[in-house]
Structure 1
Amino acid sequence: MSTSEQTAASRSAERSTKDPLSSDAGRISVSQSVVSKIAGVACREISGVHNMGTSGGRAVGAIRERIPGSSGPSVAQGVGVEVGETQAAIDLDIVVEYGISIAELGRSIQRNVKQTVERMTGLEVTEVNINVDDVYLPDEGQETPPRVS
């Protein structure tokens, strides 16, 4: 291998280790909506998350759910993201089930969301902020709805 070929190969390897979304073939960009959906699904995978979104967002999702032909609340409900070229920051609004340790739940959510988004997108997740908006208290005479949809 010639010196110029070695230099080009070295630059290509260096680029791929520093930025998995860039190569000699071009650049891959990931939209905010994609990161929001991935983060929403990853958050809902954790036991103890009853629902996602602020009270207003959950009300709109409940209305949307009642409209025939609607897919119900969005998987990105309760998720806010900022996406740069190589990094993402994620904010989550959640409702926890009563009796769950919020600190432990939060760490589990942060770990799962960070790992899932990084694995699927190649973006570095710099932070996962969680805002607990409510605690779900099941009523005795009422059937418990599904944990999350």
Structure 2
Amino acid sequence: MAEATSVDTGQPPVRDGTPSQGMPGATRAPVTRGRTTIADGVVEKVAAMAARETPGIYALGGGTRSMGSVRGMVPGGRTSATRGVNVEVGERQTAIDLTLVTEYGLSIAEAAAEARENVIAAVERMTGLEVVEVNIAVTDVHLPDEENEEAAVGRVH
């Protein structure tokens, strides 16, 4: 059987997960070589985006007639990207509370269930945290004719 020979290529040694002499820590898995923490705001943003991408979800946060929607119309006012999302983040798990406005005419239960599935999948995939629960409060239903009313309210006379 032929023996492997070592050739100096001038390149640093490749770490393929196999133990190697002279490489400190080469036998330790990368996950044991430090700690990753994920801020609440990161989980909130991921959850908010996943919920907004769900068909049948009109908005996050209170109803469209709430002060939050008026704040977005005031010059210099901004609505928060995570309005309507609250999270508790632990070392390995997270719990999420969502406040939603659904579209009129669709099943609220189905829209909420789909939003829950989307949020769980996105948060677990992107953060590695286990989502232990997603509580959803539907606080309003968006009616098709409300868009005309909202536009009239936002108009300067």
| TM-score greater than 0.5 by the shorter chain | yes
- Kindly indicate whether the alpha-carbon contact (under 8 Å) linking 2:64 and 2:140 is maintained by their aligned counterparts in 1: no
Q: C-alpha distance in 2, partners of 1:36/1:25?
A: 27
Unaligned runs of 5+ in 1: 2-7, 17-22
Say whether 1:132 aligns with 2:135: no
Q: Which residues in structure 2 correspond to 1:1-149 (within 5 Å)?
A: 12=29, 23-55=31-63, 58-68=66-76, 72-139=78-145, 142=148
Q: So what's the TM-score if we normalise by structure 2?
A: 0.70
- Kindly indicate whether the alpha-carbon contact (under 8 Å) linking 1:57 and 1:78 is maintained by their aligned counterparts in 2: no
Q: C-alpha distance in 1, partners of 2:72/2:148?
A: 22
State the secondary structure of the residue aligned to 1:120.
helix
Unaligned runs of 5+ in 2: 1-18, 20-25, 152-157
Q: Give the structure 1 partner of residue 10 of structure 2.
A: none
- Letter aligned with residue 70 of structure 2: A
Question: Displacement of 1:118 after TM fit?
Answer: 0.5
Instruction: State the aligned residue count.
Output: 128
Tell which structure's C-alpha radius of gyration is larger: 2
- Kindly indicate whether the alpha-carbon contact (under 8 Å) linking 2:63 and 2:101 is maintained by their aligned counterparts in 1: no
- Letter aligned with residue 83 of structure 1: V
Question: Displacement of 1:93 after TM fit?
Answer: 0.2
- Kindly indicate whether the alpha-carbon contact (under 8 Å) linking 1:90 and 1:129 is maintained by their aligned counterparts in 2: yes
User: Relative to total residues, which structure has the larger helix share, 1 or 2?
Assistant: 1
Q: C-alpha distance in 2, partners of 1:107/1:33?
A: 23
Q: C-alpha distance in 1, partners of 2:150/2:67?
A: 18
- Letter aligned with residue 29 of structure 1: T
Identity %: 45
Q: So what's the TM-score if we normalise by structure 1?
A: 0.74
Q: C-alpha distance in 2, partners of 1:103/1:88?
A: 23
